[in-house]
Structure 1
Amino acid sequence: MDARDLQAEVDGLMDGLRADLERLAAIPSIAFPGFPAEPVREAHDLLVGLLGEAGVERIERIDLPDTAPVILGEIPPPTPDAPTVLLYSHYDVQPAGDEKLWKSPPFEPAPVEGGLRARGIADDKSNVIAHLGMLRAFKGRPPVGVKIVFEGQEEYGSPFDDYPPTDPERFACDAMVIADLGNLRPGTPTLTTGLRGASEVVVEVRTLEEPRHSGEFGGAAPDALLVLLKALATLHDVHGDVAVEGLRREKWAGTSYTEDEFRSLAGVEDGVPLIGSGTLGERLWSGPAITVIGLDAPAVEHAASAVVPYARAKLNLRFHPRQDPKEAQARLVEHLRSLTPFRVRLTVTPGDTGPGYEATTGGPAYRAALTALKEAWGTDASYVATGGSIPLVNGLAKAAPGAEVLLFGAQDSMCNLHAPNERVLFSELRSTVVAMCAFVREYAAGFRAGTASRR
């Protein structure tokens, strides 16, 4: 199909894709502890049926302990010289959170201007449907071989993250499209080329056997909370930049938000400045960030006039995509262990850590994706990174080390993923389906031409 025929084909599919997206988004497929497993299985079964209807004849599942089933589908390459593309998305969703903050029930898809609102409708059910749209556009016979991986417990975390390298033949491919993200802003085609790594560290202080009267003992008795706060204050310099030695930071050369866009997206109060220096891309993607995500200390409402004997904080570290995760975590741990605020030692406990990822650019799949994104949105693609992590990307990349990894999809940074009133725009869904179709067309043609030239 040329560009005009392709767009006409996708336009003819949109009513059906929208209807299936509504069906899928109405299922509360939350794979978190404490939530029922039946809706997750219901979403699984619906997708298995939709894949079969789209022409996927070989459909299997992987059942690992303590996780939802992983759907595997496969369409063989149409010719011996055709490449194979792996398509990834997940069908589980985040919990809805406080439903009072939603404008409509989170699992009753409701219309918004240009799209639909529901929990998980952008992250990641829109991208599941986009994959299906590509298969339908080619009547189940795309010009490439296809391997489909639809995961059922991505949001909570799953042992599947580490599974692909143990069974590499299942995931062998020439390129993969990881559709668990989307555009910097609506209408701006975007390739994500980097994912920051993540790590957690707990730091705690114990100074007294129990609280002591602040009037009688304050001023000499070591206040655990003051000790902890003094330690935490060393993590950033006067500008708000991370001050821990050895954490990698580089200039960011890609596209980024405007400051007004970022302030709006982050919900920054009027008059409150952003922290840190340098470009937003450096602060968000190619440099480190340390956030205090939890603090154990007496609550103000019930505070007694007493010296605090114990305090604890949980830190979240995000680091450069190419920095080794153990090294990055060790730098933070070493920094904290070197401190003795008021001559008091800290107890520092490293927690979970996960690697970042930086995609290789410039290969045939990358070039095909740039062409496809421009065809779909009518403008050249931008590239960004993200501070969020997709742990499975590294597992898939290890299983298929020669495959190019492409990250694009139907979400956009203004879709409220993981927040109340999540929404997806039909324009983004349509363009993503067009892009996926154009990508497999362009990639197949370029791959065959490259194979012929090497003979």
Structure 2
Amino acid sequence: MTEPLPTASASDETTARIDAIRGAVEAGFPSTIADLTRLVKIPSVSWPAFDHAHVQASADAVAELVRGLGVFEVVDIRRAPVAAFGDGDSATDAPELGLPAVVARRAARNGRPTVLLYAHHDVQPPGRDEDWDSAPFEPTLRGDRLYGRGAADDKAGVMAHVGAIRALTEVLGADLDLGIALFIEGEEEYASRSFANFLHENRDLLEADAIIVADSGNWDLETPAITVALRGAVAFNMRVDTLAHASHSGMFGGAVPDAMLAAIRLLDTLWDADGTVAVAGLTSAGLETPAYDEAQLRSETGLLDGVTPIGRGSILSRIWSEPAITVTGIDAPDVANASNTLVPGVRVRVSARIAPGQDAGEAFAAIRAHLEHNVPFGARLAFEDVDTGQPFLVDTSGWAVAETRAAMTDAWGKAPVEIGVGGSIPFIAELVDEFPEAQILVTGVEDPDSRAHSPNESLHLGVFKRALLAEALFLARLDGRDSTS
């Protein structure tokens, strides 16, 4: 069903140890997939409109898997406040808590480092069932791909950690010198609202020399990747108002600017004619990019025939190094309820991605200033529900990146590519704030056709197996490493 793992090349690890861990991954892979399918069946959507009892059930299932590894001294399910309110002396003062996360830790011994393994067990909403070829929470194997919401993002990340530790302990035993901390978050898909508080409250459990964030992707089915650049995020609602009440479009149209007209004219100023962002004050990162042509873009995105890409410069520089702005929602009368009326007000959701190196607050200020300067017809603007997340650039000079490169090369039979990602993982900036000395790496189990967040999300089993093996080899390398070297 899946292709065999590639032949290992000798590195710092002995060939015998690499082969033993490879064999353990292979032998345990059916159980790993069975555990993954059980997790995918739990509809652990963290958005407010969904039943959070499923998120709790997912946390319980993950905690059971972690306890079954038999290597951790502490395994717990915890929640942290989203924000503190009042003094906590009354029900009205009690802080809102985030969703349940699983934490675990085993202490390092004999001078070995500690690594923190991160993933998240919550998932995006599934969307419409009719857009899926199989039910979103009924994991379905077709060819070499496992389909289901969360199959790739990020319950496979959870199982990469679990499977890697299983393989490692099968070969080396549970009495490791390596310190391992585990943090499986329960609200990443809903803005990680309690993340900073959670880190602070659980700092002693989570502190580490290196942090692996398993929530990204790989270059292709045969080539691993280390994510070294992530764009930041700015999102907000903007209300556009022109009238105190709706008016007849036949009686007053042509003289009175309705809110939809004002909104369309205003939003159009955000881009040049070729789709490049036209907001003064948004910066570029200037990252070097590998070859990637329009045919590959079309294959990976479903761009329709005749529809042209937008922007200027190399395609990957537009995705990794440049800002992007998207209108992701409009509150206005739908077509079924469209009367002959001048709409007095509309609300839009604006989502921007900002280049590595730019502060997210500075970027929001630039976008807001642009909109206020270009508002047509004297329309009134109001801004609300502003969310920001900082971009991130990985320092690739540390020992953790070197060890990861070696482990990936042994697991995949090919050296990893360093990539940027157009998406954002804003909580990484909070990891840096809480653990400034830790080396942070961003890896993942996805491939360009995983379609995370979309209908028919899937996991390629060959990619998953190699990613799991790479993590197991990385942990084995650290178990033999002096934390001071």
Same fold (TM > 0.5): yes
Aligned equivalent of 1:205: 240
What is the CA–CA distance in structure 1 between the aligned matches of 2:252 and 2:226, rounded to whole Å?
59
**Structure 1 residue 170 and structure 2 residue 205: aligned?**
yes
**Structure 1 residue 14 and structure 2 residue 29: aligned?**
yes
Q: Amino acid of the residue matched to residue 119 of structure 1?
A: R
Q: Offset at 1:142?
A: 4.5
Give the conservation status (yes or no) of the 8 Å contact 2:272–2:278. yes
1:149 to 183, 188, 200: 183
Give per-residue Cα distances to partners, 1:301-324, cap 9 Å, x unaligned. Answer: 443444443233221111012211
2:45 to 30, 39, 47: 30
**Structure 1 residue 4 and structure 2 residue 38: aligned?**
no
Q: Offset at 1:345?
A: 5.1
Aligned pair in 2 of structure 1 residues 432, 77: CA closer, same or farther (>3 Å)? same
Q: Offset at 1:166?
A: 5.1
2:77 to 61, 70, 73: 61
Give the conservation status (yes or no) of the 8 Å contact 1:203–1:347. yes
Aligned equivalent of 2:463: 428
Q: Offset at 1:184?
A: 2.8
2:131 to 85, 89, 101: 101
2:318 to 283, 286, 295: 283
Q: Offset at 1:214?
A: 3.7
Aligned equivalent of 2:434: 399
Listed as ranges, the gaps of 5+ residues in structure 1 are none
Structure 1 stretch displaced more, 171-180 or 349-358: 349-358
Q: Offset at 1:180?
A: 1.3
**Structure 1 residue 74 and structure 2 residue 95: aligned?**
no
What is the CA–CA distance in structure 2 between the aligned matches of 1:273 and 1:241, rounded to whole Å?
13
Aligned equivalent of 1:320: 355
Give the conservation status (yes or no) of the 8 Å contact 2:118–2:182. yes
Aligned pairs for 1:323-338 within 5 A:
323-338=358-373
Q: Offset at 1:403?
A: 0.8
Aligned pairs for 1:299-448 within 5 A:
299-344=334-379, 346-349=381-384, 351-445=386-480, 447=482
| 1:401 match: secondary structure | coil
Give per-residue Cα distances to partners, 1:243-264, cap 9 Å, x unaligned. Answer: 1011011333134643223223
Aligned pair in 2 of structure 1 residues 307, 63: CA closer, same or farther (>3 Å)? closer
Q: Amino acid of the residue matched to residue 224 of structure 1?
A: A
| 1:180 match: secondary structure | strand
Listed as ranges, the gaps of 5+ residues in structure 2 are 1-15, 81-95
**Structure 1 residue 192 and structure 2 residue 223: aligned?**
no
Aligned equivalent of 1:123: 153
Aligned pair in 2 of structure 1 residues 442, 35: CA closer, same or farther (>3 Å)? same
Aligned pair in 2 of structure 1 residues 19, 249: CA closer, same or farther (>3 Å)? same
Aligned pair in 2 of structure 1 residues 36, 214: CA closer, same or farther (>3 Å)? closer
| 1:331 match: secondary structure | helix
Give per-residue Cα distances to partners, 1:17-60, cap 9 Å, x unaligned. Answer: 12211222222222332433333233222222222221233212
Aligned pair in 2 of structure 1 residues 322, 382: CA closer, same or farther (>3 Å)? same
Q: Offset at 1:431?
A: 0.7
Give the conservation status (yes or no) of the 8 Å contact 1:202–1:350. yes
2:122 to 65, 87, 92: 92
| 1:202 match: secondary structure | strand
Q: Offset at 1:130?
A: 1.0
TM norm structure 2:
0.86
Give per-residue Cα distances to partners, 1:335-377, cap 9 Å, x unaligned. Answer: 1111242454544457121212221112100111111111111
Q: Offset at 1:186?
A: 1.7
Give the conservation status (yes or no) of the 8 Å contact 1:130–1:432. yes
Aligned pair in 2 of structure 1 residues 344, 383: CA closer, same or farther (>3 Å)? same
| 2:154 match: secondary structure | helix
Give per-residue Cα distances to partners, 1:146-199, cap 9 Å, x unaligned. Answer: 001111222123433212145533321110100112213222201111221111
| 2:374 match: secondary structure | coil
Aligned pair in 2 of structure 1 residues 418, 241: CA closer, same or farther (>3 Å)? same
RMSD: 2.2
What is the CA–CA distance in structure 1 between the aligned matches of 2:356 and 2:114, rounded to whole Å?
27
Q: Amino acid of the residue matched to residue 42 of structure 1?
A: A
Give per-residue Cα distances to partners, 1:272-324, cap 9 Å, x unaligned. Answer: 10111112222212110111112234444443444443233221111012211
Aligned pair in 2 of structure 1 residues 217, 123: CA closer, same or farther (>3 Å)? same
Aligned pair in 2 of structure 1 residues 151, 344: CA closer, same or farther (>3 Å)? closer
What is the CA–CA distance in structure 2 between the aligned matches of 1:308 and 1:318, rounded to whole Å?
30
| 1:18 match: secondary structure | helix
Aligned equivalent of 1:181: 216
Aligned pair in 2 of structure 1 residues 369, 268: CA closer, same or farther (>3 Å)? same
What is the CA–CA distance in structure 1 between the aligned matches of 2:383 and 2:180, rounded to whole Å?
47
Give the conservation status (yes or no) of the 8 Å contact 2:126–2:455. yes
What is the CA–CA distance in structure 1 between the aligned matches of 2:456 and 2:449, rounded to whole Å?
11
Aligned equivalent of 2:8: none
Aligned pair in 2 of structure 1 residues 208, 358: CA closer, same or farther (>3 Å)? same
